[in-house]
């Protein structure tokens, strides 16, 4: 029977081997990504999202282990901007969460790259009306909620999108359909913000009720009418 020290050693060895295996998968993904970027189509989107995750794991491995090469980091530096550009376009044309999930994979890759890189996306991306509505809604929320939302990307989607989405991963995304009346837009935004505040990961009936209750709490606290 293994001692505690032996068990810990075996566990660490297992984790080390699994980490290295993930690193190898990331290096293998590098040979496929350039072709996907050149031949972009809806099928490529899902494949590239998976490869972006694998490449991110390889980048993080190289950052942790200084003795290995920087092949994944160098590759990610070269291609991450294009991957994020495609992700941004897909998200703005989104009709569901599949595109949002791809966007998140790309942003996770971007965040994993060391160095001072310009962010690919602004915190708010959309029409002047959309940007104005987001800023007005944020002003009406408690300070701790605004701080919680500091890393969330707000994106205006296309006409085929649902009224609003919240997708969470390493990067959180709140998106709404365009051309809504201002009051409707603000209502959709505050509802999706409630999902973010409550750390929801799915649009279940229970989560929808909880988000609605959270909105009521904020409004009953007069945050909706007073700038804090």
Q: List, run by run, the mean pLDDT of 10-residue segments along the chain (228 residues).
A: 66 75 89 87 78 86 86 88 76 62 70 54 74 88 83 72 67 80 91 90 85 89 52
Residue 164 confidence (pLDDT): 79
Yes or no: say if 63 and 73 are a contact pair by the CB < 8 Å rule.
yes
Residue 194 confidence (pLDDT): 92
73 plus 101 within the same structural domain: yes
Q: What is the DSSP letter of 187?
A: H
Q: In this structure, what CATH number is given to the domain that contains residue 178?
A: 3.30.2010
91 closest CA partner among 76, 113, 106:
106
70 plus 99 within the same structural domain: yes
Buried b (16+ CB within 10 A) or exposed e, 66-94: eeeeeebbebbeebbebbbebbbebbbeb
128 plus 188 within the same structural domain: yes
Residue 228 confidence (pLDDT): 40
Angle formed by the axes of helices 182-197 and 128-139, nearest 10°: 50
Identify the domain boundary among 83, 112, 141: 112
Q: What is the pTM of this model?
A: 0.58
Q: What is the DSSP letter of 167?
A: E
105 plus 137 within the same structural domain: no
Domain range for 50 is 10-112
Identify the domain boundary among 64, 81, 112: 112
36 plus 129 within the same structural domain: no
Flag whether 108 is in a domain: yes
For the chain, the domain total comes to 2
Q: What are phi and psi of 176, to 5 degrees?
A: -135, 160
Residue 120 confidence (pLDDT): 47
102 plus 132 within the same structural domain: no
């Amino acid at each position: 029977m293994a001692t505690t020290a032996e068990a810990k050693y075996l566990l660490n060895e297992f984790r080390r081997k699994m980490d290295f295996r993930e690193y190898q998968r990331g290096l293998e993904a590098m040979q496929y990504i350039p072709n996907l970027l050149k031949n972009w189509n809806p099928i490529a989107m899902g494949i590239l999202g998976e490869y972006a995750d694998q490449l991110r794991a390889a980048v993080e491995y190289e950052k942790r282990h200084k003795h290995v090469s920087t092949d994944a980091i160098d590759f990610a530096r070269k291609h991450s901007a294009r991957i994020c550009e495609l992700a941004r376009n897909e998200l703005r044309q989104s009709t569901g969460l599949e595109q949002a999930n791809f966007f998140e994979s790309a942003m996770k890759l971007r965040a994993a790259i060391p160095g001072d890189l310009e962010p690919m996306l602004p915190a708010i991306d959309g029409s002047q009306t959309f940007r104005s509505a987001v800023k007005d809604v944020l002003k009406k929320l408690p300070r701790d909620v605004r701080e919680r939302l500091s890393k969330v990307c707000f994106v205006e989607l296309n006409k085929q999108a649902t009224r609003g989405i919240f997708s969470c991963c390493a990067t959180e995304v709140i998106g709404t359909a365009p051309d809504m009346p201002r009051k409707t837009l603000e209502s959709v935004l505050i509802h999706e913000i409630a999902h973010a505040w409550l750390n929801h990961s799915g649009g279940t009936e229970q989560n929808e009720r909880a988000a609605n209750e959270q909105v009521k709490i904020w409004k009953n606290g007069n945050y909706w009418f007073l700038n804090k």
